[in-house]
Amino acid sequence: MVSMNAVLVISFLLWSVGVAGVLIRRNALVILMCVELMLNAANLNFIAFARMSGTVHGQAFALLVMGFAAAEVAVGLALVVALYRKKGNIQVHEINLLKG
Amino acid sequence: MEKLLATIGQNLFVLFGLLAVGGAGVLIFSKSAVHSVIGFLFSMICVAGCFLSLQAEFLGVAQLLVYAGGIVVLFLFVVMLVELTKYQEQGIFQTQTKFAIPLVGIGLLIFAGVFRAALFGPSAPEALTLQQGLVGATENLGNAQAVSRGLFANFILPFEILSVILLVALIGAIVLAKTERV
């Protein structure tokens, strides 16, 4: 039997690694992957709370979150490819197309 | 025997979780984008292991299929497509990194302190315990059937919205990645 606190701590660690990655990296691909990491931490909590309450609602919603994550990755990677065509690289600090 | 099984389950979960965090660390701190993707893949596989040790078999397998089978391959395609090698030597972190890293560290430490006080402090509520199984998941009705019943009985509207969003994402990805030909 897995204790709830262990799940919460692990999911907090995963989430904070994701936040740190989004904030300190400048490669757009790595930032997208870190967003996925945070979504996975949320999924872990959904499943743990589903087990705690003994219902399947959390698991069903985790499945939906997985679908949304897939949609987000598809659009995000298309944006990265379009950006690469436009600018020649995907470093986020060089995205200044709106700067007049 | 039951006690031994419970200990093994707990340790497996913690092991997979720590391995997932380690993979995430590789994802953040590696210089090459391909190594980042491999760390991401490892982390996702370990999260699937966590799902399995929480007795969410269907979601564990779905995680393996969606992430290890689909999303990681997509990321690898894009990494190969945008040839990042000439930007490797420019440094991997943000230019404001000497402020960013300590600030991120301080913010996460504050959050960890709040988290610790809420979970393990003197005023913390009694530790939550996980139930043995799911309601509706009996011997002859497995996890997948229970999840699908929950999904289609309670979340039918979000499910339909998800299908529309996936269609929009499909069309949007094609339009965004299309080359501009006249």
Percent of chain B scoring above 70 in pLDDT: 79
Are A53 and B136 inside 8 Å of each other by CB?
Answer: no
For range B125-129, the mean pLDDT: 62
Q: What is the 3-state secondary structure (H, E, C) of A27-46?
A: EHHHHHHHHHHHHHHHHHHH
- Minimal Cβ distance to A27: which of B33, B104, B120: B33
Tens-digit pLDDT profile for residues B66-125: 998 889 999 998 988 886 665 555 565 655 667 777 888 888 888 888 878 877 777 666
| Residue A84: pLDDT over 90 | no
Are B13 and A54 inside 8 Å of each other by CB?
Answer: no
Closest Cα in chain A to B16: A10
For range B121-134, the mean pLDDT: 62
pTM of structure = 0.86
Domains and CATH numbers, chain A: 4-94 (1.10.287.3510)
Q: Which residues of B touch A64 (CB under 8 A)?
A: 151, 155, 158-159, 162
Tens-digit pLDDT profile for residues B152-180: 888 899 999 999 999 999 999 999 888 77
Hey, what are B67's tokens? 């992430």
Q: What per-residue confidence (pLDDT) applies to B95? A: 59
| Residue B72 touches partner A, C-beta closer than 8 Å | no
In three-state secondary structure terms, A25 is strand
| Residue A73 touches partner B, C-beta closer than 8 Å | yes
Give, for A19, the enclosing helix (H) or strand (E). Answer: helix A4-24
A96 Cα to chain B: minimum distance (Å): 15
The residue written with tokens 């600090």 in the block is: A93
Are A54 and B133 inside 8 Å of each other by CB?
Answer: yes
Output B162-170 pairs: Cβ under 8 A, ≥24 positions apart: B162/A64, B162/A67, B162/A68, B162/A71, B165/A67, B165/A68, B165/A71, B166/A67, B166/A70, B166/A71, B168/A71, B169/A70, B169/A71, B169/A72, B169/A74, B169/A75, B170/A74
| Residue B5: pLDDT over 80 | no
Are A14 and B119 inside 8 Å of each other by CB?
Answer: no
Instruction: Count other C-beta atoms under 10 Å from residue B21's C-beta.
Output: 20
Q: Which residues of A touch B14 (CB under 8 A)?
A: 6, 10
pLDDT, mean over chain B: 82
Among residues 119-178 of chain B, which lie with CB inside 8 Å of chain A? 119-120, 127-137, 143, 146-147, 149-151, 154-155, 158-159, 162, 165-166, 168-170, 172-174, 176-177
Alpha helices in chain B (DSSP H): 2-29, 33-53, 57-63, 72-82, 97-120, 143-154, 156-177
Distances (CA, A) of B49 to B9, B137, B142: 11, 20, 18
Q: Which residues of A touch B74 (CB under 8 A)?
A: 73-74, 77
Instruction: Count other C-beta atoms under 10 Å from residue A4's C-beta.
Output: 18
Phi/psi class of residue B180: alpha, beta or left (left: φ > 0; alpha: ψ in -120 to 50)?
Answer: beta
